[in-house]
Amino acid sequence: MITFSDVHKSFGANHVLRGVDLHVARGTSMVIIGGSGTGKSVTLKCVLGLVTPDRGTITVDGQSGSRDAFLSRFGMLFQGAALFDSLPVWQNVAFRLLRTHTKADARAIALDKLRRVGLKPEVADLYPSDLSGGMQKRVGLARAIAADPEIIFFDEPTTGLDPIMAGVINDLIREIVSEMGATTITITHDMTSVRTIADHVAMLHAGRIQWTGPIDQLDHSGDAHVDQFIHGRATGPIEAVR
Amino acid sequence: MTWVTSPLAALGALVLGLLAATGRVALFAASAVSHILRPPFYARAFLQQLVQIGWLSLPVVGLTALFTGGALALQIYAGGARFSAEEVVPSIVAIGMVRELGPVLGGLMVAARVASSIAAEIATMKVTEQIDALVTLSTQPMKYLTVPRILAATLAMPVLVGVGDAIGIMGGYLVGTTRLDFNPAAYLKNTTDFLEFWDVASGLVKGAVFGFIVALMGCYHGMTSGRGAEGVGAATKAAVVSASVLILAANYLLTEAFFAA
Ligand SMILES: Nc1ncnc2c1ncn2[C@@H]1O[C@H](COP(=O)(O)OP(=O)(O)OP(=O)(O)O)[C@@H](O)[C@H]1O
Ligand SMILES: [Mg+2]
C-alpha cells in the first residue's frame, strides 16, 4: 500500500537517506528499527510531505499525488507527542472529530480513546503542560487513533513509558492492526514492542534498508547488523560512535 | 584587486539577500490573503485573536496616547508662544494625534506587544512539531494560525487607533485646561472646529495597514523560525524589528499618498 522507491534526502552535507526501498502491504504492521539518528523519523515525514525527498518516489495506493486525500484517513503519533499546548487534552484528542461531530459526541469519543491508552477521564480537562512525558505520549497516541484512521504512523510509541504501560500500548497497536485492519508503520527501539507489534520488520542503516523480512525471520536473518542490533551488542559491524 | 571586489561582493550579496527576503514575504502575504477568501474559516480562533490583539492591547495603546497627547500640548504651547500663537494648541494636538501620533505610536506599541507574542507562539509550535501535527490532522497552518491573526489585527487596529486618538486628545485637554489656562469649552470647540473627516479617516486607514504588517511579520517569522530555543528568540526579535521598521516606512508612504500637495 505504501511503497518507497530509491528515496534520498540530505540536510546540507548530512546524507540521511541514500536510497530507501520499502513496501508496506495493506492491513499489515511494519516496524522500522535502526540506530539513533539514522533517519527513521525523516522517513515517515517524507511520506507526509513534511519533508520533501531530494530524489525517489513514495506512492500510497499506487498514487504519489493528492496529499489531502491521504491525510484525511491518516493518523500520526510524533516522537515528541507534539500536542497543541493551547488546547486542553480532550480537544487535542478530538481535534479532527470536532469538525464532523457535535462537541458532546467528540468529547465522548475522546474520553473513550483516552481510556484505551490508560488515561483517566480526569486528565481530559488538563492542559498538555500539566502532564508527565509518558502521559503526553499517550495523549498523542489517543489523538492519532481518534478518528479511526486507515493508516497510522507511530514514532516511538513506548519510549518514556513504564513496562506495564508499554505492554498496554503494544497490545493496543496490535489490536488496531488485527481488528480494525489498519496499515501501520511503527518506529521503535524496544525489542518487546517489535515482537508484539510487527508483521514485518525493516532495519534502516547508513541511509538504506539494511534488511527487511517477516517478524519470524528476525532471529534468523543472517545479517550481522540485525543480530548486533537486536541483541544490543556494543561491538559489531555498526560502530558505537556515529 | 580583492580590496575592491570584496566590499562590492558583500554589498551585492546584501542586496540580493534583501530582495530574496522581500520576495518571500510577498509570497507569504499573497498566500495568506488568498486563504482569507477561501473556506474553511476558523471563527473561534478569529474571535480569540480579536480579544488577544485588540481588547488586551487597549491599556497599552491608551496610556501611550494619554501621555503623548499631554506632552504634545506642552510642546505646542511652548512653540506657539514664540510667535504668540498659543491658541493653536487644541487644533494642532488633535491633528497631530489623529494623523500621525495615534496610528504610528499605537502601531509601534502593538508591534512590540503582538508581533513578538505571535512570532514566539508560532515559532514554538514549529520547533515542537505542532505545525507538522496540524498538517497531519488535515488542517492548514496558514488558515488555522495565520488568517485569524491577520484578520483580527487588521480589523482591531483601526479601532485601537480611534480609541487612542480620543484618549490622546483628552490628554491634551487635561494638560491644556489644568496647566495652560485654557477654557474647557473653548478648548473642545477649537478641537472639533478644525478637525476634518479625512484627518481622522486617514489615521484609521493607516491603523489597518499597520495591523496587517504586525500580524504578517509575527506569522512570517514564526513560520520560518529556525530550530531550538535560539530559533524562537531570533524569530521574535526579527518580527518586532521588521514590523516596526515597516510601520515607519509604510507611514511615510501613506502620508505621501494621502497628503502630498
Ligand atoms: N529538519 C531538519 N533539518 C536538518 N537536519 C535534520 C532535520 N530533521 C532531521 N535532521 C537530521 O537527520 C538525521 C536523522 O534524524 P531522525 O530524526 O530521522 O533520526 P531518527 O532515526 O528518528 O533517530 P531517533 O531514533 O534518535 O529518533 C539526524 O542527523 C538529524 O540531525
Ligand atoms: Mg526519531
Give the pLDDT confidence of B201-235 residue by residue, as tens digits: 999 999 999 999 999 999 999 999 998 999 999 99
Q: What is the pLDDT of residue A240?
A: 74
Residue B236: pLDDT band (50, 70, 90) is very high
Residue B183 contacts A where some CB pair is shorter than 8 Å = no
Q: What is the distance, to the nearest Å, from the Cα of residue B163 to the centroid of all Cα atoms in its chain? A: 14
**Which chain B residue's Cα is nearest to A51?**
B132
Q: What was the ipTM of the complex prediction?
A: 0.91
User: Given an 8 Å threshold on Cβ–Cβ distance, is A82 in contact with B132?
Assistant: yes
**Which chain B residue's Cα is nearest to A82?**
B130
Residue A11 contacts B where some CB pair is shorter than 8 Å = no
User: Given an 8 Å threshold on Cβ–Cβ distance, is B129 in contact with A80?
Assistant: yes
Ligand (nearest to CA of A44): 1
Give the torsion through C-alpha atoms of A75, A80, A84, A89, to 10 deg: 80
Residue B1: pLDDT band (50, 70, 90) is low
In this complex, which of B121, B128, B139 lies closest to A82 when CB atoms are compared? Answer: B128
CB contact set of B195 (below 8 Å; sequence gap of 6+): B91, B94, B95, B98
Q: What is the pLDDT of residue B122?
A: 97
Residue owning the nearest CA to atom 16 of ligand 1? A39
Smallest CA–CA distance, residue A235 to chain B, in Å, is 33
CA B215, B218, B224, B228 dihedral sign is: negative
Give the pLDDT confidence of B85-113 residue by residue, as tens digits: 888 999 999 999 999 999 999 999 999 99
Give the pLDDT confidence of A191-239 residue by residue, as tens digits: 999 999 999 999 999 999 999 999 999 999 889 999 999 998 888 888 8
Q: What is the pLDDT of residue A191?
A: 92
B125 vs B222: CA distance, rounded Å: 9
**Which chain A residue's Cα is nearest to B136?**
A71
Cell, residue A18: 541514500
Testing ligand 1's pocket by substitution, the residue of A14, A16, A241 carrying the most ligand atoms inside 8 A of its CB is: A16
| Mean pLDDT of the region B172-183 | 94
The reported pTM is 0.90
Q: For residue A142, give the nearest of A76, A88, A196, A50 by alpha carbon.
A: A76
Do the beta carbons of residue A118 and residue A165 sit within 8 Å?
Answer: yes
Ligand (nearest to CA of A20): 1
A180 vs A169: CA distance, rounded Å: 16
Q: Is the CB of A42 under 6 A from ligand 1?
A: yes
Residue B128 contacts A where some CB pair is shorter than 8 Å = yes
- Quickly list DSSP for chain A: -EEEEEEEEEETTEEEEEEEEEEE-TT-EEEEEE-TTSSHHHHHHHHHTSS--SEEEEEETTB---HHHHHTTEEEE-TT----TTS-HHHHHTTTHHHHS-HHHHHHHHHHHHHHTT--GGGGGS-GGGS-HHHHHHHHHHHHHTT--SEEEEESTTTTS-HHHHHHHHHHHHHHHHHH--EEEEE-S-HHHHHHH-SEEEEEETTEEEEEEEGGGGGG---HHHHHHHHT-SSSSS-S--
Cell, residue A46: 517524507
CB contact set of A140 (below 8 Å; sequence gap of 6+): A77, A78, A81, A82, A83
Q: For residue B26, give the nearest of B216, B171, B195 by alpha carbon.
A: B216
For residue A16, the CA-to-ligand 1 centroid distance in Å is 8
What residues have a C-beta under 5 A from ligand 2, the ion?
A: A 41, 79
For residue A39, the CA-to-ligand 1 centroid distance in Å is 5
Residue B136 contacts A where some CB pair is shorter than 8 Å = yes
CA B218, A90, A134, A24 dihedral sign is: negative
| φ and ψ at residue B38, rounded to 5 degrees | -115, 140
| Mean pLDDT of the region B171-190 | 93
B149 vs B159: CA distance, rounded Å: 16
Ligand (nearest to CA of A35): 1
Q: Which residue has the cell 504668540?
A: B84
* Residues of A with Cβ-Cβ distance to B128 under 8 angstroms: 80, 82, 85
CB contact set of A97 (below 8 Å; sequence gap of 6+): A105, A106, A109, A110, A146, A147
| Mean pLDDT of the region B129-138 | 94
Between helix B116-127 and helix B197-223 the angle, nearest 10°, is: 20
SS3 for B258?
helix
Give the pLDDT confidence of B187-202 residue by residue, as tens digits: 999 999 989 999 999 9
| Mean pLDDT of the region B164-187 | 94
Do the beta carbons of residue B129 and residue B231 sit within 8 Å?
Answer: no
Residue A121 contacts B where some CB pair is shorter than 8 Å = no
At residue B16, what is the residue type? Answer: L
Residue B4: pLDDT band (50, 70, 90) is confident
Segments of chain A with pLDDT less than 50: none
- Quickly list DSSP for B67-104: HHHHHHHHHHHHHHHTTT-GGGHHHHHHHHIIIIIHHH
Cis peptide before A149 (omega within 30 of 0): no
User: A residues 67-86 near B, CB within 8 Å?
Assistant: 68, 71-72, 74-76, 78, 80, 82-86
Smallest CA–CA distance, residue A179 to chain B, in Å, is 23
CB contact set of B91 (below 8 Å; sequence gap of 6+): B190, B191, B193, B194, B195
Q: Is the CB of A212 under 6 A from ligand 1?
A: no
Q: What is the pLDDT of residue A70?
A: 85
A218 vs A194: CA distance, rounded Å: 10
SS3 for B261?
coil
* Residues of A with Cβ-Cβ distance to B125 under 8 angstroms: 84
B37 vs A183: CA distance, rounded Å: 36
- Topology of domain A2-81+150-231 in CATH is Rossmann fold (3.40.50)
Residue B261: pLDDT band (50, 70, 90) is low
- In total, chain A counts a number of residues equal to 242
User: Given an 8 Å threshold on Cβ–Cβ distance, is A82 in contact with B139?
Assistant: no
B219 vs B145: CA distance, rounded Å: 8
Closest ligand 1 atom to A38 CA: 21
For residue A125, the CA-to-ligand 2 centroid distance in Å is 29
Q: What is the pLDDT of residue B240?
A: 97
| Mean pLDDT of the region B120-130 | 95
Give yes or no for residue B25 having a pLDDT over 70. yes
